[in-house]
Amino acid sequence: MDVQKTALYNYHKNLGAKFVPFAGYEMPIQYKDGIVKEHISTRTHAGFFDVSHMGQFFLEGDETLIESLEKIIPADLKNLKINHSKYSFLLNNEGGIIDDLIITKTEKGFCIILNAACKENDIKQISQFLQKNHKHLLNNDLSLIALQGPKSVEILEKLIPGVANLKFMTGSKFEYEDEKLYVTRSGYTGEDGFEISISNTKVEKLIDYLISNKVKPIGLGARDTLRLEAGLCLYGHDLNEKINPVEANLKWAIAKKRKEIGGFNGWEKIKDLLANGSEKIRVGIKPDGKVIARENTKIFSPDNNEIGFVTSGTFGPSVNAPVAMGYIKSEFSEIGTSILLEVRGKKYGGKISELPFYKKSYVK
Amino acid sequence: MSEKKFSKKHEWVSLDGDVATVGITKHATEMLGDIVFVEVPDAGKAVEKEGQAAVVESTKAASDVYSPISGEITEGNKAIADDPGSVNTDPEGASWFFKLKIKDKGEYDSLMSKDEYDKFCKENPS
């Protein structure tokens, strides 16, 4: 398959981006400032992220569409109000996570934001449950820009009046440059901010405006340190088809009603796990010193039994310390439990930590 | 102190009598990005030419630092282990990695000069 590029590829190049292949796309990993500065400027001012590689999947249909989607998504889609969004997943028959996603109720159906690496398979999986009268479209004519950080609202409100009224995890249509665009108050950094779905033909103009307001471009590198500090999962690392939402410590994302009634893929398994707990569970991990416990680092108990593994680990610039997430036998998952992390053959001390590592309040 | 010599793995060496000081080059720090963890060897450790001697990690990944010259470590720079970011600021000065007592000055002589190293970096962009 040819390497794909987002509509902003040349723009990134002119901004001094370093590119890496990611999910079949050439994506900026960082710009001239580097990961730490990009991270800090997102937390203190605002940054923009080109996340146009993610799938913007639109579905249209009558109430039978809700029934179809609820077979594979454990959210309460019946009671999801128009312009409201939920974090959820696609589940397989074993309750494993095929992908994690954000689903938004639209006037005619739903919009689902899918991970780039998963989107083709996701659509196949979803399509199994769709009926002939359900229409669907992966819209590649749209870019998706995340604007994140404390100044996001002030900056975007000047350009698109009304966005300041949006509450966290809600969205609305707005007018910009004689075109409709869709803005949600959401993101994946632990900061207040927006995700803006805008046509490929207008996206450069939007970015020009953001840059003129000192919004820095942020690459995948800082996106990773930001999301990890915020305790958020990265699919393919912290989540995969063999991990279910209970193990992933994401049972809060299964709607209360759906937990009671079920009716989705893997329900029997998940019902059992909800009642009895899982053998392993996702936790936050803080190494005691400066050592970084990266993905696949083995975790041991103080008496040297292997009890888990790290799925994401890096240095957290805002926490100013190394941070990690991983899976550990449930009996060791209590906050504050001492563990050992094996890095380059040596064992270093660490502790099970609360998530997120970095806290900020969203606008509710 | 002698002039700095350079290795293909982006370390620099300077020599004072039979004690060499080793660090990573500015070019190396630019490739690595923000340095957030450094592990330096303890005094007494024997290292081989091109053998692994220290570790440097950026936000992106961990990399080994090799000794361009064989010998016995006399000192690891604890200051950079405490403040890894200082390697980005002064890689070819205060932020050296380790000192070692060398066995064979010929290993030092065979390394690249500054001009040769600059040319090497231009020809091998990564």
Contact residues of A toward B, CB < 8 A? 29-30, 34-37, 221, 225, 290-292, 294, 314-315, 317, 322, 344
Which among A250, A238, A302, A315 is positioned nearest to A278, based on CA atoms? A250
Q: Quick check: do A1-277 and A279-364 share a fold?
A: no
Pairwise CB contact (< 8 Å): B37 & A292: yes
**What pLDDT is stored for residue A361 in this prediction?**
57
A181: left (phi over 0), alpha (psi -120 to 50) or beta: beta
Task: For residue A362, name the pLDDT band (cuts at 50, 70, 90).
Answer: low
Sort out which chain A residues have CB atoms less than 8 A from B33's CB and list them: 30, 34-35, 221
pLDDT tops 90 at residue A79:
yes
Question: Mean pLDDT, chain B, as a whole number?
Answer: 94
pLDDT tops 70 at residue A327:
yes
**What pLDDT is stored for residue A238 in this prediction?**
98
The top-level CATH class assigned to B5-103 is: mainly beta
Which among A191, A224, A184 is positioned nearest to A28, based on CA atoms? A224
Q: Whole-prediction pTM value?
A: 0.93
**In one letter, which amino acid is B38?**
V
**What pLDDT is stored for residue B125 in this prediction?**
77
pLDDT tops 90 at residue A29:
yes
- Residue of B33, B39, B62 lying closest to A294 (CB–CB): B62
Question: Mean pLDDT, chain A, as a whole number?
Answer: 96
The CATH code belonging to domain A1-277 is 3.30.1360.120
Alpha-carbon distances, residue B44 vs A72, A100, B24, B81 (angstroms):
61, 51, 21, 18
Task: For residue A1, name the pLDDT band (cuts at 50, 70, 90).
Answer: low
User: pLDDT tens across A244-293, in order?
Assistant: 999 999 999 999 999 999 999 999 999 999 999 999 999 999 999 999 99
Determine the Cα–Cα distance for residues A285 and A225; give it in Å rounded to an integer.
14
Give burial (CB, 10 Å; 0-12/13-18/19+) of A26: middle
User: Which neighbouring-strand residues pair with B62?
Assistant: B57
Sort out which chain A residues have CB atoms less than 8 A from B62's CB and list them: 292, 294, 344
Contact residues of B toward A, CB < 8 A? 33-34, 36-37, 39, 55, 57-62, 81, 84
Which among A92, A154, A133, A88 is positioned nearest to A115, based on CA atoms? A88
Task: For residue A2, name the pLDDT band (cuts at 50, 70, 90).
Answer: confident
**What pLDDT is stored for residue B22 in this prediction?**
97
pLDDT tops 90 at residue B12:
yes
Give burial (CB, 10 Å; 0-12/13-18/19+) of A132: exposed
Contact B1/B113 with Cβ under 8 angstroms?
Answer: no
Q: For chain B, where are the E strands, in sequence order?
A: 5-6, 11-16, 19-24, 35-39, 46-47, 51-58, 62-67, 71-76, 98-102
Sort out which chain A residues have CB atoms less than 8 A from B60's CB and list them: 29, 35, 221
Q: Which residue in B30, B31, B32, B36 has the most chain A C-beta atoms within 10 A of its own C-beta, making it the best mutation to test that interface? A: B36
Domain range list for chain A: 1-277, 279-364
User: pLDDT tens across A290-305, in order?
Assistant: 999 999 999 999 999 9
**What pLDDT is stored for residue B61 in this prediction?**
86
Mean pLDDT of A178-201: 96
User: pLDDT tens across B51-90, in order?
Assistant: 999 999 998 889 999 999 999 999 999 999 999 999 999 9
For residue B58, what is the nearest residue in chain A, using CA coordinates?
A: A315
- Residue of B34, B37, B60 lying closest to A291 (CB–CB): B37
- Residue of B59, B60, B84 lying closest to A290 (CB–CB): B84
Pairwise CB contact (< 8 Å): A34 & B33: yes
**What pLDDT is stored for residue B60 in this prediction?**
83
**What pLDDT is stored for residue B2 in this prediction?**
73
pLDDT tops 60 at residue A82:
yes
Mean pLDDT of A99-116: 98
**What pLDDT is stored for residue B85 in this prediction?**
94
E strand or H helix that includes residue B117: helix B114-123
**What pLDDT is stored for residue A360 in this prediction?**
74
Token reading at B122: 């231009």
The CATH code belonging to domain A279-364 is 2.40.30.110
**What pLDDT is stored for residue B126 in this prediction?**
65
Helix axes A35-44, A220-229, angle to 10 degrees: 60
B87 vs chain A: nearest CA distance in angstroms? 14
Task: For residue A41, name the pLDDT band (cuts at 50, 70, 90).
Answer: very high
Sort out which chain B residues have CB atoms less than 8 A from A317's CB and list them: 34, 59
- Residue of A30, A36, A292 lying closest to B57 (CB–CB): A292
Strand order in the sheet with A193-199: A171-176, A179-184, A193-199, A142-148, A47-50, A216-217
Domain range list for chain B: 5-103
Pairwise CB contact (< 8 Å): B60 & A36: no
